[in-house]
Amino acid sequence: MMPDTFVSPQVEINEALVTSALLGRGLPSEAEHHLWEAGLSYHLDDVAERHLREADALAPGHAAVLIGLYRFYFYKGRLTEALDVARRCLLRAAQENNLAADWRLVQAGDAEFGRYENILARFFLFSLKGYAYLQMRLGETEEGRLAVQKLLQLDPTDKIGARVLLGVLDRMGQDDD
| All domains in the chain, ordered by first residue | 15-99+109-169 (1.25.40.10)
Cα torsion 79, 82, 87, 89: sign: negative
pTM (predicted TM-score): 0.83
Tens digit of each residue's pLDDT, the chain (177 residues)? 343 333 343 333 444 444 444 455 678 899 999 999 999 999 999 999 999 999 999 999 899 999 999 999 999 999 999 999 999 999 999 998 999 999 999 999 999 998 878 888 999 999 999 999 999 999 999 999 999 999 999 999 999 999 999 999 888 867 554
Instruction: Give counts: helices (H), strands (E), the chain.
Output: 9, 0
Spell out the residues 6+ positions from residue 67 whose beta carbon is closer than 8 angstroms to its own: 13, 17, 18, 23, 89
Q: What is the rounded distance in angstroms from the CA atom of residue 134 to the CA atom of residue 145?
A: 11
Q: What is the rounded distance in angstroms from the CA atom of residue 162 to the CA atom of residue 176?
A: 22
